[in-house]
């Protein structure tokens, strides 16, 4: 027990001896609110106007403690704090803090910390100059030439040059501006704009700064963020940003349908346009005929924030549509440059034969001058007609009779086929009904001719009288075709 008391006394005496050895502070410095230490005098200490700033004066290495004193401009708003002293390695670390609220009028004023000590013949002092920054009153990001606003969306046209402006209002000193185009994962590259500064229209002691960049944006940039960094002496003081919305036509369009096309049988045909903005409108056409009213449109938003549109057309094709072009057009309804993408297909319509009979007189070149009537059965069908059957008074006309002769069967084009029947006996003596039936793989069709109608066929015109003073033409052509078409 006695040994423990003796050791405490010895340690206490040693500490008292050490402390009794007086020495002045070896360092005096100022520390700002971010922990930056200012050793040398007259260095600029950056503060923000109208914002509280904690500043600490620290003296290191004194025995006994140094006495710290702040000397500040009379008109600065300040709150003084008590001095604190801590022992470290047999020396004292003394701190005295103040909280100041500078105004922009305090720019350039000096803040001084003074340390006094019994071993100093002259007090130590550390000074800093206040570099007062005035933050911008407002920062705007908007399309160049548009309304100055702090918009969150910027609309651009795909593959068109787009100019974007960032404007800082009322700062000191003039701000520095830089842009960055960032994707959703935060990756991006800084873009340096063209910058101009001038005295603020609101306060001549402050500055307005404007930066402009010109970008070429496309669909891959849709949904990315354009950011404007506002800095004062390389320190970012404000960030504004907006999402880029790219107007543009769909990235693709596809037309599909199930099954074949048949005459007057309804079928649904779909047309899908993907990745457009805004949602595209889909129109349908056959030639100049607009079929859009017969369609239904479904719109959905995809993961990229763009739109897919699918239109379903209920079409009842006819034989007259065969070979025509069905067009699907996806149109972007924007206030900017309108654009569209198209896809088309040629309609391949299957239909039964559509049949008609035409009549011609043919006069023999022999001296008898007898007249032969030629019946022409025309069939429009897809697929082509494979067989023609002629009936006279419901009796099949045979090739082996002397009264008739089959002159030829002709395929005129991809859908039209003709069968020609020659009648050698004068029909004026008979009343007959002729029927032509055309047969294809899809179906059949017929047309009927009553010989009574043949009496209505007019003779060729004759006895022309031309008075030369009533025409300016030097020649006159008169055409006559002895053909009489009988409907179905």
Query: CA-to-CA distance for 189 and 225, rounded, in angstroms?
Result: 12
| Whether residues 69 and 114 fall in one domain | yes
Which residue spans within 393-443 are E strands per DSSP?
A: 395-396, 404-411, 416-423, 433-439
| Whether residues 292 and 391 fall in one domain | no
The segment with the largest mean pLDDT, out of 14-18, 414-418, 420-424, 472-476, is 414-418
| Domain C-terminal end among 188, 223, 247 | 247
Count the domains in the chain.
Answer: 4
Give tens-digit pLDDT for 87-146.
Answer: 988 899 999 999 999 999 999 999 999 999 999 999 999 999 999 999 999 999 999 988
Question: What percentage of the chain carries pLDDT values higher than 70?
Answer: 83
* DSSP state letters, 201-252: SS-TTSEEEEEEEEEE--GGGTT-EEEEEEEETTEEEEEEEEEEEEEB--SE
* CATH number, position 91: 2.60.40.10
What pLDDT is attached to residue 487?
46
What pLDDT is attached to residue 369?
53
Span 231-243, average pLDDT:
92
Residue 294 lies in a domain: yes
β-pair type (349-363, 404-411): unpaired
Residue 160 lies in a domain: yes
262-268-269 Cα angle (round to 5): 100
| Whether residues 121 and 210 fall in one domain | no
**Average pLDDT in the chain:** 85
What pLDDT is attached to residue 17?
46
| Whether residues 28 and 128 fall in one domain | yes
Residue 463 lies in a domain: no
Residue 2 lies in a domain: no
Span 312-338, average pLDDT:
87
Residue 462 lies in a domain: no
Neighbours of 27 (CB within 10 A): 15
The model's pTM is 0.67
Span 274-283, average pLDDT:
92
The parent domain of residue 378 ranges over 351-456
Q: b/e per residue, 103-124, with b = 16+ CB within 10 A?
A: eeebbeeebbbbbbbeeeeeeb
Confidence band, pLDDT 50/70/90 cuts, at residue 485: very low
Confidence band, pLDDT 50/70/90 cuts, at residue 189: confident
Query: CA-to-CA distance for 13 and 16, rounded, in angstroms?
Result: 5
| Whether residues 328 and 387 fall in one domain | no
| Domain C-terminal end among 193, 219, 247 | 247
Give tens-digit pLDDT for 443-465.
Answer: 999 999 987 766 555 555 555 55
Span 161-174, average pLDDT:
94
pLDDT at position 287 over 50:
yes
Residue 62 lies in a domain: yes
Query: What does the block give as tokens for 199?
Result: 């005295």
| Domain C-terminal end among 247, 273, 297 | 247
Residue 95 lies in a domain: yes
| Whether residues 153 and 241 fall in one domain | yes
């Amino acid at each position: 027990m006695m040994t423990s008391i003796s050791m405490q006394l010895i340690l206490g005496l040693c500490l008292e001896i050490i402390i009794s050895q007086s020495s002045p502070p070896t360092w005096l410095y100022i520390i700002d609110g971010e922990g930056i230490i200012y050793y040398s005098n007259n260095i600029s200490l950056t503060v923000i106007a109208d914002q509280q700033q904690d500043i600490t004066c620290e003296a290191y290495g004194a025995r006994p403690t140094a006495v710290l004193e702040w000397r500040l401009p009379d008109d600065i708003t300040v709150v003084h704090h008590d001095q604190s002293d801590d022992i470290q390695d047999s020396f004292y670390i003394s701190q005295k803090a103040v909280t100041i609220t500078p105004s922009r009028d305090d720019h350039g004023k000096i803040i001084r910390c003074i340390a006094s000590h019994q071993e100093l013949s002259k007090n130590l002092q550390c000074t800093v100059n206040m570099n007062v920054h005035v933050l911008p009153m407002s920062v705007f990001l908007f399309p160049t030439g548009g309304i100055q606003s702090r918009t969150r969306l910027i609309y651009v046209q795909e593959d068109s040059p787009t100019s974007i402006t960032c404007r800082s209002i009322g700062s000191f000193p003039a701000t520095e501006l830089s842009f960055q185009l960032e994707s959703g994962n935060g990756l991006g590259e800084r873009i340096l704009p063209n910058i101009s500064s001038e005295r603020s229209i609101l306060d001549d002691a402050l500055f307005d700064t404007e930066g402009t960049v010109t970008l070429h944006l496309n669909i891959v940039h849709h949904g990315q963020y354009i950011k404007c960094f506002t800095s004062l002496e390389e320190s970012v003081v404000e960030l504004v940003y907006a999402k880029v919305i790219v107007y543009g036509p769909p990235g693709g369009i596809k037309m599909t349908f199930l099954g074949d096309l048949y005459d007057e049988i309804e079928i649904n045909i779909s047309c899908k346009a993907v990745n457009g903005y805004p949602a595209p409108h889909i129109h349908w056409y056959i030639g100049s005929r607009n079929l859009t009213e017969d369609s239904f449109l479904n719109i959905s938003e995809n993961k990229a924030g763009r739109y897919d549109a699918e239109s379903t057309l209920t079409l009842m094709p006819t034989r007259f549509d065969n070979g025509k072009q069905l067009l699907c057009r996806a149109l972007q309804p924007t206030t900017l440059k309108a654009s569209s993408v198209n896809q088309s297909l040629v309609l391949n319509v299957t239909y039964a034969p559509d049949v008609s009979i035409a009549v011609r007189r043919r006069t023999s070149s022999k001296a008898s001058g007898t007249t032969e009537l030629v019946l022409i059965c025309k069939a429009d069908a897809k697929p082509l007609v494979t067989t023609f059957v002629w009936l006279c008074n419901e009796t099949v006309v045979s090739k082996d009779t002397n009264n008739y002769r089959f002159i030829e069967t002709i395929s005129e084009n991809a859908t039209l086929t003709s069968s020609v029947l020659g009648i050698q006996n004068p029909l004026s003596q008979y009343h007959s009904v002729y029927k032509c039936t055309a047969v294809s793989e899809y179906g059949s069709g017929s047309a009927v001719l009553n010989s009574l109608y043949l009496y209505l066929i007019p003779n060729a015109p004759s006895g022309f009288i031309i008075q030369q003073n009533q025409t300016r033409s030097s020649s006159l052509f008169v055409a006559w075709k002895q053909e009489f078409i009988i409907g179905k």
